[in-house]
Structure 1
Amino acid sequence: MSGTDAESTVLPNQTHTMAADICGQTLDLDEDDDLEVFSKQATHRSALELEADDEGDLKDIFVTVDNPESHITAIETFITYRVLTKTTRSEFDNSEYEVRRRYQDFFWLKGKLEEAHPTLIVPPLPEKFVVKGMVERFSGDFIETRRKALHRFLNHVADHAILSFSEDFKVFLTAQVWELASYKKQGPGLLSRMGETVRAVANSVRGVKNRPEEFTAMQLYVEAFSNKIISLDKVTQRIVKEQKEYLGELKEYAPVYTLWSGSEDTLVGPLKGVADCIERCWKETEEQDNHLTDTLVPTLHEYVLCSESLKAVLRRRDNIQAEFEAKNEALATKKVDQDALKEEIDKLEDRVEWANNALKGDWSRWQKCMRGDIKSAFVSTAQKNVDYYEKCLAVWETFLLSQRSEGSEDADNSS
């Protein structure tokens, strides 16, 4: 990113001011990547259309990912997931669909959405092989974690005002396995894809010279957001790991007091009371840990992956502009067919405008969703922590009251 920033003609003071404005809105908290290619026929809707659809907030497509199944063949082992769709959209022939999809099908869909809409923010997929904290690829925990992430991915797409109307998305939701395989073969040929990749690489190396300052500010925002969300994710993962270890030790702690009570006649009541308190607090701790694992961890990690998607979107936007700038430079040399080149430049200029408008509209939508998701996760976690400590406090206070009552009765009896 530093290379493209250095080539930008935006004045430093202007960039710093705008970046500060955008970055000030960021959270105040201290496997192989494929080359991106984009389609010449990419279509975009304006930011106004996108905002209008968001304001409508009429959900007409519901997707569920569940029921994972393991498949073993002579050459591979893989997991498929059931994808259930219910919709009232007229472009669908039926109102309900049930298909099975494996991870590579989700990966294909994400690639097609990015190819058709290079400057829209396509939601991230979980990592291809290993999710943080998981070791065994086919363990129950890994499969369930991936299932939830795939469910979120499809629902983010279904909620998107533009991506949800993609023909590729419709095929993914409705086509049987053999139909989907046939549809995949209808994509651009190898030579065409290689040509697009070469142009993308060339534009990336060339860099963009006159990037609008708002997109430079976006890049600075994404860098700051990425650093902070990665730090939060790492710390949260570590807390969860340590809490699981604490939970395991706590589970072994209560039986010790119970065993001890068998050899201390005068301390039977207090020892069994402590054992009961520890066991009850252990159950509350397990519930709190599950909440962190199911709510906060997935939200933070999803936005770690999303920050990488944002960087890719901004690179694709720069590639489109860089191609436009390169054609303008070629026209200035007067060594080519100017009429044909002017026509191509006009198309590229429109494409740059469409790309910019699409990204600006989707950027606002993404920020709104991100802040809502993270705020919800933080508030839910805070409430769970309050509930946890209140319940554990009540457990120990009840124990203290019982001991004080017994102490008073013993004193009365002795007197």
Structure 2
Amino acid sequence: MALSTPLHGFAMKKVGVNQDTPKLTPAGTNRSSKDVMRGSQGGEDTVLVSDPQHENIGGRQKHTLYLVEQFGKDASSVRRRYSDFQWLYSKLLDEIPGAIVPLIPHKQAVRDSVRFSNELVDERCEQLDLFLKRVVSHPELKESMNLKVFLTAFSDEWEAARNRKEDDTSKSSSDQPQGPIGAFFKKAKARVMMATGTELETTPDDSTFEALEAYITLMDTHVKSMAKDSMTTSKMTKDHGGILTNVTNSMLKLGEQRFPTAYNDDLSYLFSELSEELGPIAHVTVKYQAQEEKVWTEPLQDLSREVQAAKIALEKRKDLLFDYSRKTALHKTKKTSFEKGKATQDEVEDVKMEAQDLWRSVEDVSKRVKREMESFRDVFEEKLRSLMAAYAKLQTEYLAELMKGWKSVLPVAANKGVLGAAGSSPAKPTAPTTPVGEDGEDADSKPSAPPAEAFAGTEGEATEITDDDNEDGAGALKDSEPKVEAV
């Protein structure tokens, strides 16, 4: 579907607030539907997030709008901002508690020059596309009414949905309280329960969920550590490629220079040949770093987010149990007040019914979380196996290329390492050089070694010089030393 179709143009006219004033300018690389459309991983309909456009309102505010398309029987096309995706994420968490809702990567605080760069916009577009595809492929999330509103609502309808009183866009993010902030809220809840004398009500599944929470917490810690290490590894590979590139360039520059006072400058030739052999190695390393990010670093980051999403689903069940426990404690308090004549029977019954409703919710969410965790385990195992297999294959190919490249350096360094060395005797331009074997042993010859014709041994072997021949080292070479007429 081309970007210039009437459907896309119509969608842009229907976007957001102040329809008369926004100005849309292309952002990113303007991916088309044909370029990036992928399957919805089992979803009935296929969705696509593409074609990011910048929106200017009165020259003061600037936003990026993404084209959200739905294909199939319920085809639609709308424009949505990043915060709209956050709204959908938050709504899905509340509408279907206990479901594993895919995470949206953090919205980083960056300068406008970076925030609206093609690279960042394209990366975010791909992440939002993956998020939406996973949502529509989920057996429960795809039936969400909030999802239908997100995919189909235009202008007034969408603004009405976004501006409802109960909506809180500041919490409509996948950036759920984690780390120190998350720990603060958990401690705050614990303090509330202690202050009110409330204890979590026991359930038949307590041992199961305690084990799940412990396992997911451990998995979150270690997968997050792996993801962090993968970024470090990628940076090291990038640095290695940069170093090899610099060494290659230095060799190339030195190869262009002539060594002063030399009869024949084999040193320049050596530098030139080495640069030719090192260049491909640097290229392979730089190329590998880009592949490593796609095959290893980015998938590990994504896997870490999936573990966090599973952890949030478990916490939703615990939050609901907390609400039920508080309501149960309130019911007991109301009963005591009623016995003392400080509360009515209706008040007691109302609280009792609310507690019963919450308990039914706890049961439903517990069943959902169990199903989700079973599915998560299977999917996680499959993804981890595929990830490691792809990375192992990439490493094997990369190391094979490196070995091949460095092996090609050895004969160059061995053959040219003797000639042109500091302190060596000037040789005639026509004088033959000693052949060097593949093992490179002749590269260890002393700088004062004479030309090859001085050796009387078997072909390919040098006559050994010992102290028994002559104390000053002349010995056996005295009679066979070539006569060179003075110039």
TM score, norm. by length of structure 1: 0.72
Q: 1:297 is matched by which residue type in structure 2?
A: T
Of the candidates 250, 255, 275, which is equivalent to residue 261 of structure 1?
255
Relative to structure 1, is the Cα distance of residues 266 and 216 closer, same or farther in structure 2, using a 3 angstrom cutoff? same
Larger radius of gyration: 2
Deviations 1:75-129 (A, max 9, x none): 32222222233235xxx2xxx4333221101101101101101211111111022
1:411 aligns to 2:435 (yes or no): yes
- Aligned partner of residue 161 in structure 1, secondary structure: coil
Relative to structure 1, is the Cα distance of residues 296 and 84 closer, same or farther in structure 2, using a 3 angstrom cutoff? farther
CA RMSD of aligned residues (A): 3.4
Q: Which has the higher contact order (CA 8 A, sep 6+)?
A: 1
Deviations 1:329-372 (A, max 9, x none): 34445236344444333322211110101111111122222232
Deviations 1:250-269 (A, max 9, x none): 22221221222233642455
Of the candidates 80, 85, 106, which is equivalent to residue 101 of structure 1?
80
Partner of 1:151 in structure 2? 129
CA contact (8 A) 1:208 1:319 kept: no
- Structure 2 stretches of 5 or more lacking a match? 1-40, 172-185, 194-198, 259-264, 418-431, 437-451, 454-458, 460-487
Partner of 2:48 in structure 1? 64
CA contact (8 A) 1:203 1:323 kept: no
Return the alpha-carbon distance in structure 1 between the equivalents of residues 70 and 268 of structure 2. Answer: 59
Partner of 1:205 in structure 2? 192
Q: Equivalent residues in 2 for 1:243-262 (5 A)?
A: 243-262=237-256
Aligned length: 343
1:121 aligns to 2:100 (yes or no): yes
1:293 aligns to 2:293 (yes or no): yes
Relative to structure 1, is the Cα distance of residues 177 and 374 closer, same or farther in structure 2, using a 3 angstrom cutoff? farther
Return the alpha-carbon distance in structure 2 between the equivalents of residues 167 and 245 of structure 1. Answer: 49
Partner of 1:112 in structure 2? 91
Higher percent of residues as helix:
1
Return the alpha-carbon distance in structure 2 between the equivalents of residues 76 and 360 of structure 1. Answer: 45
Return the alpha-carbon distance in structure 2 between the equivalents of residues 135 and 246 of structure 1. Answer: 29
Shift of 1:273: 3.3
- Aligned partner of residue 122 in structure 1, secondary structure: coil
1:379 aligns to 2:384 (yes or no): no
Return the alpha-carbon distance in structure 2 between the equivalents of residues 257 and 290 of structure 1. Answer: 25
Partner of 2:400 in structure 1? 390
Larger deviation, residues 387-396 vs 207-216: 207-216
Return the alpha-carbon distance in structure 2 between the equivalents of residues 238 and 410 of structure 1. Answer: 47
- Structure 1 stretches of 5 or more lacking a match? 1-56, 194-199
Return the alpha-carbon distance in structure 2 between the equivalents of residues 208 and 277 of structure 1. Answer: 69
Shift of 1:402: 7.1
1:347 aligns to 2:357 (yes or no): yes
Return the alpha-carbon distance in structure 1 between the equivalents of residues 270 and 435 of structure 2. Answer: 17
Q: 2:122 is matched by which residue type in structure 1?
A: E
Question: Identity of aligned pairs, percent?
Answer: 21
TM score, norm. by length of structure 2: 0.62
Of the candidates 370, 375, 388, which is equivalent to residue 365 of structure 1?
375
Relative to structure 1, is the Cα distance of residues 245 and 403 closer, same or farther in structure 2, using a 3 angstrom cutoff? closer
CA contact (8 A) 1:80 1:102 kept: yes
Relative to structure 1, is the Cα distance of residues 159 and 325 closer, same or farther in structure 2, using a 3 angstrom cutoff? same
Return the alpha-carbon distance in structure 2 between the equivalents of residues 283 and 374 of structure 1. Answer: 29
CA contact (8 A) 2:230 2:297 kept: yes
